Amino acid sequence: MTNAKSDAESPTESPTESATESAALNHNWWRGAVIYQIYPRSFQDSNADGIGDLKGIAHRLEHVARLGADAIWVSPFFTSPMKDFGYDVSDYLDIDPIFGDLDAFDEMIATAHRLGIKVIIDLVLSHTSDQHPWFVESAQDKNNDKQDWYVWADAKPDGTPPNNWLSIFGGPAWTWNTARRQYFMHNFLSSQPDLNFHNEAVQAALLSVARFWLERGVDGFRLDTINFYFCDQQLRDNPAVDPTLRNADLASDVNPYSFQSHQFDKSRPENIAFLERLRGVMDEFPATTTIGEIGDAERSMELLSAYTMGNKRMHMCYTFDLLSETPLSAQRLATILNEFENNGADSWVCWAFSNHDVIRHVSRWALSDAQIKLFACILMSIRGSVCLYQGEELGLPEADIPFDQLQDPYGIAFWPDYKGRDGCRSPMVWEQKEAHAGFSSATPWLPISDEHKALSVDSQVGIANSFFEHYQQFIAFRKQWQPLVEGDYESINTDGSVITFIRRFQNQRLFCAFNMGDSTAELNLPEGCAYQLIDNALYAASISDASLRLDAYSAAFVQLS
6-27 pLDDT per residue, tens: 444 444 344 444 444 444 579 9
Q: Per the domain annotation, does 173 fall within a domain?
A: no
Rounded CA separation 317/284 (Å): 20
End-to-end CA distance of the chain: 53
- 403 vs 169, 254, 342, 416, 452, CA distance in Å? 17, 17, 44, 8, 19
Last residue of a domain, one of 452, 477, 502: 477
E strand residue ranges, 333-403: 350-352, 385-389
318-349 pLDDT per residue, tens: 988 999 999 999 999 999 999 988 887 788 99
One domain, residues 390 and 527: no
Catalytic residue among 88, 122, 194, 224: 224
One domain, residues 310 and 451: yes
Mean pLDDT in the chain? 93
Is the pLDDT at 39 greater than 50, yes or no?
Answer: yes
Last residue of a domain, one of 438, 462, 477: 477
**Residue 248: band (very low, low, confident or very high) from pLDDT cuts 50, 70, 90:** low
Helix (H/G/I), strand (E/B), else coil: 411: helix
Provide the residue type at 486 as one letter.
E
Residues 441-448 have a mean pLDDT of 98
Residues 346-358 have a mean pLDDT of 94
Last residue of a domain, one of 432, 459, 477: 477
Helix (H/G/I), strand (E/B), else coil: 482: helix
Residues 521-545 have a mean pLDDT of 90
Residues whose CB is less than 8 angstroms from the CB of residue 434 and which lie 6 or more positions away in sequence, other chains included: none
What's the pLDDT at 180?
A: 97
One domain, residues 453 and 554: no
Return the ∠ at Cα 401 (arms to 398 and 402), rounded to 5°.
150
Residues whose CB is less than 8 angstroms from the CB of residue 97 and which lie 6 or more positions away in sequence, other chains included: 79
Residues 106-134 have a mean pLDDT of 98
Residues 25-42 have a mean pLDDT of 96
Q: Per the domain annotation, does 273 fall within a domain?
A: yes
Q: Does the active-site annotation cover 545?
A: no
Q: Per the domain annotation, does 432 fall within a domain?
A: yes
74-101 pLDDT per residue, tens: 999 999 999 999 999 999 999 999 999 9
What's the pLDDT at 343?
A: 82
Residues whose CB is less than 8 angstroms from the CB of residue 453 and which lie 6 or more positions away in sequence, other chains included: 429, 432, 437
**Residue 536: band (very low, low, confident or very high) from pLDDT cuts 50, 70, 90:** confident
Range of 121's domain?
Answer: 29-127+201-232+269-412+422-477
Is the pLDDT at 246 greater than 80, yes or no?
Answer: no
* CATH (domain of 398): 3.20.20.80
Rounded CA separation 480/461 (Å): 22
Question: pLDDT > 90: what percent of the chain?
Answer: 86
Provide the residue type at 202 as one letter.
V
Q: Per the domain annotation, does 264 fall within a domain?
A: no
User: Could you tell me if 292 and 124 are in contact, meaning their C-beta atoms sit under 8 angstroms apart?
Assistant: no
- Peptide bond preceding 397 in cis form (omega within 30 of 0): no
452-508 pLDDT per residue, tens: 999 999 999 999 999 999 999 999 999 999 999 999 999 999 999 999 999 999 999
* CATH (domain of 505): 2.60.40.1180
What's the pLDDT at 297?
A: 84
Catalytic residue among 9, 94, 284, 431: 284
**Residue 40: band (very low, low, confident or very high) from pLDDT cuts 50, 70, 90:** very high
User: Could you tell me if 343 and 337 are in contact, meaning their C-beta atoms sit under 8 angstroms apart?
Assistant: no
One domain, residues 214 and 85: yes
Q: Give this prediction's pTM.
A: 0.94
**Residue 390: band (very low, low, confident or very high) from pLDDT cuts 50, 70, 90:** very high
Half-sphere exposure at residue 454, Cβ-oriented, CA atoms within 13 angstroms: 5
One domain, residues 451 and 550: no
Q: Name the range with the highest mean pLDDT among 250-259, 266-275, 532-541.
A: 266-275
Q: How many domains does the chain have?
A: 2
What's the pLDDT at 23?
A: 45
Q: Per the domain annotation, does 279 fall within a domain?
A: yes
E strand residue ranges, 325-392: 350-352, 385-389
Q: Does the active-site annotation cover 84?
A: no
What's the pLDDT at 21?
A: 46
Residues 415-432 have a mean pLDDT of 94
- What interhelical angle do 330-344 and 300-308 show, nearest 10? 40
User: Could you tell me if 338 and 492 are in contact, meaning their C-beta atoms sit under 8 angstroms apart?
Assistant: yes
What's the pLDDT at 247?
A: 65
E strand residue ranges, 178-311: 182-185, 220-223, 289-293
One domain, residues 275 and 298: yes
One domain, residues 379 and 497: no
One domain, residues 440 and 496: no
**Under the phi-then-psi rule, with left for phi > 0, alpha for psi from -120 to 50, and beta for the rest, what region is 313?**
beta
Q: Would you give the DSSP letter of residue 504?
A: E
What's the pLDDT at 245?
A: 73
One domain, residues 471 and 498: no
What distance lies between CA 312 and its chain's CA centroid?
A: 21
What's the pLDDT at 24?
A: 59
- Name 174's bridge partners: 185
One domain, residues 66 and 94: yes
Helix (H/G/I), strand (E/B), else coil: 178: coil
Q: Per the domain annotation, does 67 fall within a domain?
A: yes
Rounded CA separation 133/136 (Å): 5
342: burial class by Cβ within 10 Å (0-12, 13-18, 19+)? exposed
What's the pLDDT at 253?
A: 64
Q: Per the domain annotation, does 150 fall within a domain?
A: no
Is the pLDDT at 440 greater than 90, yes or no?
Answer: yes
Q: Per the domain annotation, does 41 fall within a domain?
A: yes
What distance lies between CA 398 and its chain's CA centroid?
A: 17
One domain, residues 383 and 522: no
One domain, residues 339 and 459: yes
Rounded CA separation 254/6 (Å): 44
Question: pLDDT > 70: what percent of the chain?
Answer: 94
